[in-house]
Structure 1
Amino acid sequence: MTNMIDDSIKIYHNPACGTSRNTLGLIRNTGVEPTVILYLDTPPSRQTLQQLITDMGISVRSLLRQNVEPFETLGLSEDKFSDSELINFMLEHPILINRPIVVTPLGTCLCRPSERVLDILPKPQLGAFSKEDGEVVIDANRQRVKK
């Protein structure tokens, strides 16, 4: 199956992340090839990052990845930084941006876990899909498997 390129769907992707790879797989399982933004190589602009946060309806702090350096080194666990300062840290150290973020015509979502992307995909799944760890997300009847 050849996937159609769809510029209206974007994923801020880190290929080293299993959740990000699973999310990309679920998007591709709809027959769509999204715009893949390797955000570690090409971080979003300040305006784009602020818009993504607004569109997701989350706090700036909730987009911060806490289990990576330089989170501890920068003292980001302390609640002393403004949203603007936190965004500065994310722009300076894109590894601090949690991922994957997916943008579709139906919404913008931090897809953790990866199946959250199913809530904002405009097209249905075309076949069964299992995560890399073997967990079935879409069954043979193309139905979402709920835990």
Structure 2
Amino acid sequence: MKVIYNPNCSKCKTLGKALENRGINWENVAYLNTGLTSEMVAELFAGYEGNWRDLVREKEDIFKDEGLNPQEMLQNDMMDFLVKHPIAIQRPLVIKDKEIIIARDAEGIHKVIG
């Protein structure tokens, strides 16, 4: 299992502790250090069963800084944007088998550790 993880994010820390408490092995994808490849972003968007916009942190300042309204962006444009500005991807995102899970709340964490 891979986790798109930001060590400064309280939601990521909560998920990390839940995984450790259950003894679940996971790979920390420190995307702010390594970036996101276009292949990884495509995998996330293709594997997520909900609205692709759920995978984006639309209130991040980077959109305003770039003069963009995320609600007006097309999917392919957003995918390119996330490769250039990975801070705007939702977190924590869990890649479990072929499923993409947003683990920001108790329900998401339960899906991961359940």
TM-score by length of 1: 0.68
Q: Deviations over 1:31-79 (max 9, x none)?
A: 1231101011112211221111222213332222122221223312451
**Partner residue of 1:18 out of 10, 28, 33:** 10
How many aligned residue pairs are there? 113
Q: Deviations over 1:55-113 (max 9, x none)?
A: 2213332222122221223312451x221111111110110111000122373201121
Using CA pairs under 8 Å that are at least 6 residues apart, name the structure with larger relative contact order, 1 or 2: 2
Q: Which has the greater radius of gyration?
A: 1
DSSP 3-state at the match of 2:108: helix
**Partner residue of 1:96 out of 72, 83, 88:** 88
**Cα distance, 1:20 vs structure 2:** 0.6
Runs of 4+ in 1 over 4 A off after TM superposition: none
Structure 1 gap ranges (5+): 1-8, 123-147
* Structure with more helix by fraction: 2
Equivalent residue, structure 2, for 1:76: 69
Closer, same or farther: CA 10–77 of 1 in aligned 2, 3 Å: closer
- Alpha-carbon contact 1:11-1:103 (below 8 Å) kept: yes
* Structure with more strand by fraction: 1
Superposition RMSD in Å: 1.9
Equivalent residue, structure 1, for 2:35: 43
Equivalent residue, structure 2, for 1:55: 47
Equivalent residue, structure 2, for 1:5: none
TM-score by length of 2: 0.85
Q: Deviations over 1:3-37 (max 9, x none)?
A: xxxxxx11110000000110111111111231101
